[in-house]
Structure 1
């Protein structure tokens, strides 16, 4: 049985010569396709292509994170920050209660700070990160934007609870399994804040769920 090959940031370095030729040939294709997609290019895919180019151009760059778990942590963490910021802004616009508006404001401010920290950490490792939300985050924004009143508030708070539970799992895994000491230190430092955010989201969700208006 043929086994499908697995590609990660490490073995991408080992195929430098192939990638160099491929990326040169693919550049024109990507340029044409991106122009025709009206800015719907996947930002995550673009970041990974940029990282592949860096590895293909210089496989001796020690600052590039070679462990796929660390790379994926940085990418997923950045995606989460961007979603929290975007939905936090939406909560401030569409929220009808002070607690949801305040939750949205706090999410926007604190996750903007976290996003800046993630970007700084990634830059120190010569790692490119997505610069826009994922399709899932955009869909969540659209679904929430289509709702109003307490229906919006209940679904927003539920999303915040769910996403912060996901974030805590992600950061805990980084603390336990990362091979990079700076990634471990960053994840460990941010976990208490994420747990506080989760508690705030749970409190807001309870209040929204009990609101019969």
Structure 2
């Protein structure tokens, strides 16, 4: 028995050492071999996947628009939910409810469009949004500050969508942006009116 142990001990030690080395090599990767140590956002990961998928500048541009638009819709939903929880203004709460429904519908459409085009998209808002949500939550004049923030966001969205509606080489993405613009402009008008009435 002692002789058998002497023969097996080097083999067992060698196997254990090999397993330890493999474990160390994979410590910074997931099952797919992706690097986990970089702590990238889901938007960054989606953009990297799209860069690998699309070979043309136009294709990358279209994919980036969809990726960013999905992230922006997740953010808008979070801002709308925050207003419903935090605001004491019934008009702000009502507009936030409408905004949430509208953004959820558009997000669903965008994700279907992305799926049809094999575009990778994020599964949530980016980190900057979390900071802004915290800032707004603690603001002493929440409702007014929320309205201003949403006006800025809607204005930027309109600028981006107008550009895509006029310049996109992908007919489906171009049509989606054009179709979404009227609702976005209407929501911007409602936000501006509410903001004026609260001054």
TM-score by length of 2: 0.78
- 1:101 matched to 2:100? The reply is no
Q: Give runs of ≥4 in structure 1 deviating > 6 Å.
A: none
Q: Name 2:171's counterpart in structure 1.
A: 181
- Residues 68, 50 of structure 1: CA spacing in aligned structure 2 closer, same or farther, 3 A cutoff? closer
**1:190 partnered with 2:180:** yes
Matched residue SS, 2:61:
helix
- How far, CA to CA, are the matches of 1:28 and 1:191 in structure 2? 41
Other-structure match for 1:116: 108
CA distance in 2, matches of 1:117, 1:65: 24
Asked which structure has the greater CA Rg, the reply is: 2
Unaligned runs of 5+ in 1: 1-23
Partner of 1:92: 84
8 A Cα contact 2:151 2:192, kept in partner = yes
Q: Which residue does 1:20 correspond to in 2? A: none
Residue number in structure 2 paired with 1:168: 158
Deviates more, 1:198-207 or 1:182-191: 198-207
Q: 1:61-109, CA deviations, whole angstroms, 9 ceiling, x for partnerless residues?
A: xxx9952321221122112211110010000001111110011111111
Q: Within the alignment, does 1:152 sit opposite 2:142 as a pair?
A: yes
Cα–Cα, structure 1 residues 176 and 207, in superposed 2: closer, same or farther, change >3 Å? same
Gapped runs of 5+ residues in structure 2? 1-28
Pairs within 5 Å for 1:136-147: 136-147=128-139
The 5-angstrom pairing of residues 34-113 of structure 1 reads 41-52=40-51, 55=53, 67-113=59-105
**Matches of 1:124 and 1:69, distance apart in 2:** 16
Does structure 2 retain, via aligned residues, the 8 Å contact 1:65–1:125?
no
RMSD: 2.6
- SS of the equivalent of 1:129 reads coil
1:13 corresponds in structure 2 to: none
